[in-house]
A and B are shown apart, each in its own frame.
Chain A
């Protein structure tokens, strides 16, 4: 090689690099990244968030690994392929001017639903993203609670904040439960997640309040690739609430969140979700695809309990799971999934028993109406060390009408002879006799159906924190409107 050629080459390098840097700078400076996914986009996200090198590397690794993966197709759902290159992976929060200036500018249908759910006016404004600059009650309430949490030593902040403030915790636990190569959607999330929540409960601390009740409105806009990490240190307790009953609309069709729970020895985490993403119109058009990976690891004597009420999304694909790693650990899953119109839900849980004397309980209630499809998919695995492990599964389906479907796919693997697995499944319809009894007492059919359905879900609702349970009941009622006939 001549020196001239060498010069040319390094010149070329320089030019390429500068072009790259220019492009990269524009990426970082723009409010919204152009659609498409590449290493540059990931670098830009990381740079915008001022992330440390290790996290960028982590994201890139996740990305490279994800590129070798295939979108799964085993779930009982059907949808046209999602064009991942049409998605913009970062956009700054809307400025005040871009938002609706008052509730008058908000979709009346949405407001009607807020009203039915009994959501107070100022919360409606926040949910609808109205630009209001007054100081809300709830903001000051939130501040009071934050100081109370700080007193107890509880860390509760956004995951971006945690990356800066508590890097040792994030580094230790991020991806420790859901590895970045776990599955297609979790891999994608690991590469591009923008924000989410981080919780740490110190040893022996009982978190003084249910987390997120008072914050959930502020957190409503965490984007389509949300990442949540909750670590409960030894002997601690926390109850965490996610989502809200108010219908949430989003321009982003694909939502692929990851939630990781770590319950260290003797700790207990109770995680409750109400999910009401926009399900689309009667044909499911415009609805959200909700592909979530949720998993917890329970160490010795620890307990993890998932409770979920799922009424939204065009497609739900979600299996909150517990790895019962430690001896005497406990896993629970309580679920209500309601589908109507063209909604499709494939949801359930995985209970992976590794430790001795581990115990899991699964109660799943599926309600289908319209032409929807509702599948329960559950795996119970008793590992070779899982002496005296026990599982109880109860899986009930309720059908409203003749055009919907309910399916149950239980998978059981037992590698220890002393492990016991019990599975009960029922499918029922709201009977004409029940409906007639209600109507004969003056109750209109819609109210009657919602009452009967609520009764069907009681075992799950009683696991929800009180306030959430009431909201969930109302949510079912609103969701079932028009489901009769």
Chain B
């Protein structure tokens, strides 16, 4: 469903991704790891179509369509979902209102039946429960005054409702306490299915104990430098990235606990 070939991309004119290839098939969970600044968020943002993130070479296909030619909302309507590393606040726009707009737009585009407000509210409450968010959060402004962990849970709550085909989770685990990590992992696992692909960006093996990936990739210097099975994550946990990157990125990923 996702086919990335020799992708080059720059951020505000600065080349960041330098020949990245990755294939995600339905039902698969891929974990992407790598030092700080190696380009993981860049990859997620390029796929989602953020302004200033420009594909300069290669291609990225989603469901056979070239992402470069689609507006961000069109990608979302096709079923691509990004859980943000740093979810932004939208003051005054209630979570519920936001979800309603998002679900109306995507469900219609995907030919799914429309949910009336009663159904929507019920589903939203269920999704809140699944990630251990008080349903009162539905009334608050989107991420407005949420704690770091609450923001992350809010992202997963949205994902559960939107039932995307491909979910990109950018460090959803960082900033979560241990219980929340399990709750969120359970939420993500509940979405696993034969039709769905999941890409997890993470720094920690711990998340992968709960969401067991089919493939693990190491991103460094804008390229995937190593791929393997779930054991690779364990290896990284023990040895860091130095043996793979030759120290070129400097980071070892363990500094980012508070992100």
A: which residues have CB within 8 A of B? 431-434, 436-445, 447-448, 451-452, 454-459
Contacts and interface: CB of A to CB of B under 8 A. Distances in A.
Contacts of B111: none
B67 to A, nearest CB: 13
Interface of B: 48-51, 71-73, 75-77, 81-82, 84, 87-93, 97-98, 101-102, 105-106, 109, 141-142, 158, 162
B80 to A, nearest CB: 8
Given A432-B51, A454-B93, A455-B141, A445 B88 contact: no
B92 A456 contact: yes
B92 A442 contact: no
Contacts of A431: 88
B104 to A, nearest CB: 8
Contacts, number: 78
Contacts of A456: 91-92
30 contacts: A431-B88, A432-B51, A433-B88, A434-B89, A436-B50, A437-B87, A437-B88, A437-B90, A437-B142, A438-B90, A439-B73, A440-B75, A440-B76, A441-B98, A441-B101, A441-B158, A442-B106, A442-B162, A443-B105, A445-B73, A447-B101, A451-B90, A451-B93, A451-B97, A452-B90, A454-B93, A455-B90, A455-B92, A455-B93, A457-B92
A14 to B, nearest CB: 72
A437 B84 contact: yes
A442 B77 contact: yes
A45 B71 CA distance: 60
A454 to B, nearest CB: 7
A441 B162 contact: yes
Nearest to B76: A442
Contacts of B109: 442
A454 B92 contact: yes
Contacts of B89: 434
A436 B48 CA distance: 9
Contacts of A434: 88-90
Contacts of B82: 440
Contacts of B49: 439-440
Contacts of A442: 73, 76-77, 102, 105-106, 109, 162
Contacts of B87: 437
B141 A443 contact: no
A432 B158 CA distance: 20
Given A432-B51, A436-B50, A443 B93 contact: no
Kindly list the 8 A-B residue pairs having the minimum CB-CB distance in the complex, ordered from nearest.
Answer: A455-B92, A455-B93, A441-B102, A442-B76, A442-B106, A458-B92, A442-B105, A439-B72
Contacts of A451: 90, 93, 97-98, 101
A438 B73 CA distance: 8
Interface centre among B51, B98, B158 (most CB of A within 10 A): B98
Nearest to B89: A434
A456 to B, nearest CB: 6
Contacts of B142: 437
A480 to B, nearest CB: 14
Nearest to A430: B90
B13 to A, nearest CB: 16
A441 B76 contact: yes
B138 to A, nearest CB: 15
A463 to B, nearest CB: 14
A431 B86 CA distance: 14
Nearest to A457: B92
Contacts of B91: 455-456
A443 B103 CA distance: 9
A440 B90 contact: no
Contacts of A459: 92
A447 B71 CA distance: 15
B166 to A, nearest CB: 12
A153 to B, nearest CB: 40
